[in-house]
Structure 1
Amino acid sequence: MTQLEPLYDKKCECLMCKKNFISQKIRTRFIKLAEVDTDFSPAYQPPENNPIFYQIHVCPYCGFSFSEETIKYFPPNSRELIQEKVVNNWTPQDFGGSRTIHQAIQTYKLAIYCGVLKKEKHIVLAGMYLRVAWMYRSLQNDGQEQRFMKLAIMEYHESYLKDDFRGTQVSEVKLLYLIGELSRRTLQTQQAVQYFSKVIERQKQSIEPKIIEMARERWYEIREEKTLNA
């Protein structure tokens, strides 16, 4: 009997050049969640079976990189900009096989660049920045983790202001909590308290009591730290 492998082929169509290519995904049965951090960063066992490594599809023909959350619509002039900045400079590479964490980070950076040129939704870009921060955390690269958390905060904040998270899997309460928690982790304490308070204020109308409780725990932690350092 043939042994089932964790990775399987997923057929993709490039949103930019419309060519078909193969990308890899991890079979659900091989995804074993070990723990989740306070900013929802998941840890998997074994670490190489991390589905986050395979969330970005990189077209080997033109270089356009995207996730399943990427909107298919291209705003005016964005195709021309991507053609100029990405396609015309693309050296054919294939990310269709097994990926290391460093290759996964590279795919996200490509997708972020394409997303910025495409004027992708802020909520989508924020999620990409956050996942890069998580991967740098697992590599214990504090400088890059901090950098990408701050970029994620900026995009989450824009998403909140422009309301472009509506209709996605990220609720308003989760969005506010993430801004608070990432602010806490980047030592923007006053901003963290402000956003945790916004979450707690919504406790009566929220259907996510776990996130409300997490915000309350973080808020108390900050208050205790201030008391200890006073």
Structure 2
Amino acid sequence: MGINIYYYESKIECQCCQKKSTTYKVRPNRYKVVDQDTDFMPIYDGLNPMLYEVAVCPHCGYAYHKSMVRTFGPFMEFVREIYIKPLQKPMSICQERTLDDAIASFKLAYLVAKASMEESLVMANIAIKIAWLYRLKEEKKLEIHYLRSARDFYGQAFASNKEGEERIHFLYAELSLRIGETEEAKKGFSHLISGRDVSDKYKKLARNRWEDYKYNTAKKEKNVNEG
């Protein structure tokens, strides 16, 4: 059997059932980030490695993402009780994945993270990736649903997270804008634009994003009036 030029097999040992398996990962030379959306969703040329971020155990169904930290002792007992036991049949998605497979894998990780009471920031980062996958699938309603979940978790993460705080504030404002909560978005962007300790990078990002929004909104209104 020849070498797969698109994927390599990553060996995993399940932290829940301790059984071993392999799962596909995209080879680094098979993708390149060429752009990103305003909420930092990377846009790839080539394959999308995000589809393979979550490892799902084919034996017990446990789903693991590298951002998870509560993967030991009492937290695993919660996962077994709340997540593993009700699971009817483990998914076998260790090889090439569709968008639907990737969405399922992240939703499983979301349930595991919830069962093990992961921090709000972990929950937010998983929720936003589910939203991104629905964006790629062009399912707007479900994208908005998970953007709202992510926005709310980022809001909860403000007080507990100093690392990457500017990024969290920006995403809170950006996602508020995307789900149609304009006043909340305005407050969030204003906080970054006028904040004394905010870096130039995030001041500029916030200012540009809010100005673009106002310009595009005015343009739409003008077109409607002229039409």
Q: TM-score range by the shorter chain?
A: 0.7 to 0.9
Q: Which residue identity lines up with residue 10 of structure 2 in the other structure?
A: K
Check the 8 A contact 1:15/1:72 in 2, yes or no: no
Check the 8 A contact 2:192/2:198 in 1, yes or no: no
Taking the TM superposition and a 5 Å limit, the aligned residue runs for 1:27-176 are 27-46=27-46, 49-74=47-72, 76=74, 78-88=75-85, 89-161=87-159, 163=160, 165-166=161-162, 171-176=164-169
Shift of 1:214: 1.7
Provide the rounded CA distance (Å) in 1 between the counterparts of 2:196 and 2:165. 12
Q: Say whether residues 1:212 and 2:197 are aligned partners.
A: no
Deviations 1:6-40 (A, max 9, x none): 21111112222222221211111111223211011
Check the 8 A contact 1:180/1:192 in 2, yes or no: yes
Check the 8 A contact 2:16/2:62 in 1, yes or no: yes
Give the TM-score normalised by the residue count of structure 2.
0.87
Check the 8 A contact 1:203/1:212 in 2, yes or no: no
Secondary structure of the corresponding residue to residue 45 of structure 1: strand
Provide the rounded CA distance (Å) in 2 between the counterparts of 1:59 and 1:146. 29
Q: Which residue identity lines up with residue 210 of structure 2 in the other structure?
A: W
Secondary structure of the corresponding residue to residue 43 of structure 1: strand
Secondary structure of the corresponding residue to residue 32 of structure 1: strand
Deviations 1:171-215 (A, max 9, x none): 111110000000001110111011111222346552xx4433121
Secondary structure of the corresponding residue to residue 132 of structure 2: helix
Provide the rounded CA distance (Å) in 2 between the counterparts of 1:202 and 1:10. 44
Percent of aligned positions that are identical: 28
- For structure 2, the residue ranges without an aligned partner over 5 or more in a row are 223-227
Q: Which residue identity lines up with residue 45 of structure 1 in the other structure?
A: D
Check the 8 A contact 1:34/1:45 in 2, yes or no: yes
Provide the rounded CA distance (Å) in 2 between the counterparts of 1:59 and 1:129. 20
- Which shows bigger deviation, 175-184 or 86-95? 86-95
Provide the rounded CA distance (Å) in 2 between the counterparts of 1:133 and 1:159. 18
Closer, same or farther: CA 90–166 of 1 in aligned 2, 3 Å:
farther
Shift of 1:123: 0.9
Check the 8 A contact 2:39/2:175 in 1, yes or no: yes
Q: Say whether residues 1:13 and 2:6 are aligned partners.
A: no
Q: Which residue identity lines up with residue 209 of structure 2 in the other structure?
A: R
Closer, same or farther: CA 4–64 of 1 in aligned 2, 3 Å:
closer
Provide the rounded CA distance (Å) in 1 between the counterparts of 2:218 and 2:155. 29
Secondary structure of the corresponding residue to residue 158 of structure 2: helix
Shift of 1:166: 4.4
Q: Which residue identity lines up with residue 158 of structure 1 in the other structure?
A: Q
Secondary structure of the corresponding residue to residue 70 of structure 1: coil
Aligned equivalent of 2:190: 197
Q: Which residue identity lines up with residue 105 of structure 2 in the other structure?
A: T
